[in-house]
Structure 1
Amino acid sequence: MTTEEARFDVRQDSRHEDLADDVRGRAGLWEWERIEQLLAVAVPGTVYDPDTDVVVQAELAAEAAAAAAREAELREAARIAARADELQALRELGTLEQTEPRDGDETVRDELTHRAGGYVQADVDAWLAHALAAHLGHYRDPAARETAAGLLPPPLLTHAALLTELSRLVPDADVDQLAFAARLATTEPEATGALAVFLARARS
């Protein structure tokens, strides 16, 4: 197709109401006009080559980047779903508390909450709070703990903060003995946070 043919098609489409707003025809015309302008300023005899057309190459690169991003999103969604299935199985086996969290489990928590219709998964939150307080799994890394502070809800974070201070007061206390901390954090998150700060000040 030539530029004149593209212009003819656009004119023909404009005469039909159902085709008057066809942006593809106009885009094709603009593209032909752009190529004509490129050749007009090129060395005489130059043959158009899309491989050397920076606009075409930029479009191809953008399409490739978008495809790669979509593929990465699909892989991440599959990873989250698989990890959520794993944690659900561990819950049913009663061994979730013996499992160390992994990088990305904050997002998996959101997936489990979504699957439950938006209800907070108290046992999962308690597990993450304990792991955060005890620096288990990927929470051994201070950067991971800092990242978690921006991803996890305030009640869970205040629960972890209170567990941290209580475990320092009573180092040999087990999870069951500190179960009240979760109830405090759920019902009175602000007060629980204040209590954790107070205990930290008293300790220092």
Structure 2
Amino acid sequence: MTTPWPPRRSARRPLAPRVAAPREPVDPAWIGRRVVRRRAKGMDADAVAAALEDARFDARQDSRHEDLADDVRGPAELEEWERIDQLLAAAPAGTVYDPDTDDVVRAELAAEAAAAAAREAELREAARVAARADELQALRELGTLEQTEPRTRDEAARDELTQRAGGYVQADVDAWLAHALAAHRGHYRDPTAREEAAGLLTPPVLAHAALLAELARLVPDADVDQLAFAARLATAEPEAAGELAVLLARAHPAR
């Protein structure tokens, strides 16, 4: 069955600029806790108790200054000295503080490592999506997009291309995905991928795919001109297009 495609544009569209990943914001409280742990390393209970008294004195002094009212590092340091003091008070006599064996520190480090790994994974995925968007853009310019098999996460590449265009609908990419979804091409051969598409594609694309699927069953030899209305209807009235697809499905329930 032949299917309609929007006219191909010859104007070259710019690729997405590559930008550096944003830096993590500085956390003064985190810095304060790290400073305390470095200072406390190797201290016994008496030394930590003395350092705690110094921290309390500093806190009282700071409370007199209005410009330090929003300071978070000082209170964080005081809380950390108090925590370490309690930790050593509950430990056997002669124990010295070692952040490497501190369960709280180890849990924080594990959480930080997990968060860093998650951020790295997000950056890798964003780079992969951007590269795929570049590839789809090149295929558009070559006029071979409609012959391309869609892959997993191409919905994200579609969003990337739409964002690059300032939010304007990319009719050819939307039509490509709708045709692939209707014909179960590429990763849409997997029923799970088709189910996930419902949450990844826009209502017009989903309505277009549903309408194309039913029309293909009813009129398998329909030509381009006869099916051209499907994309226009789905774009202008996606809800109506979806309802029409349901009605057409009822016209031939046997699958």
Indicate the residue corresponding to 1:84 in structure 2: 133
Structure-to-structure mapping, 1:21-32, within 5 angstroms = 21-32=70-81
Deviation by residue 1:119-155 (Cα, 9 ceiling, x = unmatched): 1111111000000001111100000000001111111
- Over aligned residues, Cα RMSD in angstroms? 1.6
Structure-to-structure mapping, 1:145-184, within 5 angstroms = 145-173=194-222, 178-184=227-233
The more displaced of 138-147 and 150-159 is 150-159
Instruction: From the two aligned structures, give the one with the greater helix fraction.
Output: 1
1:11 to 50, 53, 60: 60
1:127 to 173, 176, 190: 176
Indicate the residue corresponding to 1:35 in structure 2: 84
Distance in 1 (CA, whole Å) between partners of 2:203 and 2:188 is 17
Distance in 1 (CA, whole Å) between partners of 2:69 and 2:244 is 68
User: Structure 1 stretches of 5 or more lacking a match?
Assistant: none
Distance in 2 (CA, whole Å) between partners of 1:77 and 1:174 is 39
TM-score normalized by the length of structure 2: 0.75
Matching of residue 63 in structure 1 with residue 112 in structure 2:
yes
Partner AA of 2:114 in structure 1: A
Partner AA of 1:120 in structure 2: V
Indicate the residue corresponding to 2:94 in structure 1: 45
Distance in 2 (CA, whole Å) between partners of 1:175 and 1:78 is 36
Indicate the residue corresponding to 1:203 in structure 2: 252
Partner AA of 1:44 in structure 2: A
Larger RCO: 1 or 2 (CA < 8 Å, sep 6+)? 2
Change (3 A) 1:3 1:174: farther
SS at 2:68's partner residue? Answer: coil
Distance in 1 (CA, whole Å) between partners of 2:233 and 2:116 is 47
SS at 1:18's partner residue? Answer: helix
Distance in 2 (CA, whole Å) between partners of 1:156 and 1:41 is 64
Tell me the percent identity.
Answer: 83
Matching of residue 73 in structure 1 with residue 122 in structure 2:
yes
How many residues end up aligned between the 2 structures?
Answer: 204
2:189 to 140, 150, 166: 140
Q: CA deviation at 1:111?
A: 1.2
**Runs of 4+ off more than 6 Å:** none
Distance in 1 (CA, whole Å) between partners of 2:188 and 2:63 is 63
Distance in 2 (CA, whole Å) between partners of 1:26 and 1:61 is 24
1:192 to 226, 241, 251: 241
Indicate the residue corresponding to 2:143 in structure 1: 94
Q: CA deviation at 1:170?
A: 2.6
Distance in 2 (CA, whole Å) between partners of 1:137 and 1:22 is 56
SS at 1:127's partner residue? Answer: helix
Distance in 1 (CA, whole Å) between partners of 2:143 and 2:219 is 26
Partner AA of 1:202 in structure 2: A
Indicate the residue corresponding to 2:22 in structure 1: none
User: Structure 2 stretches of 5 or more lacking a match?
Assistant: 1-38, 40-50
SS at 2:95's partner residue? Answer: coil
TM-score normalized by the length of structure 1: 0.93
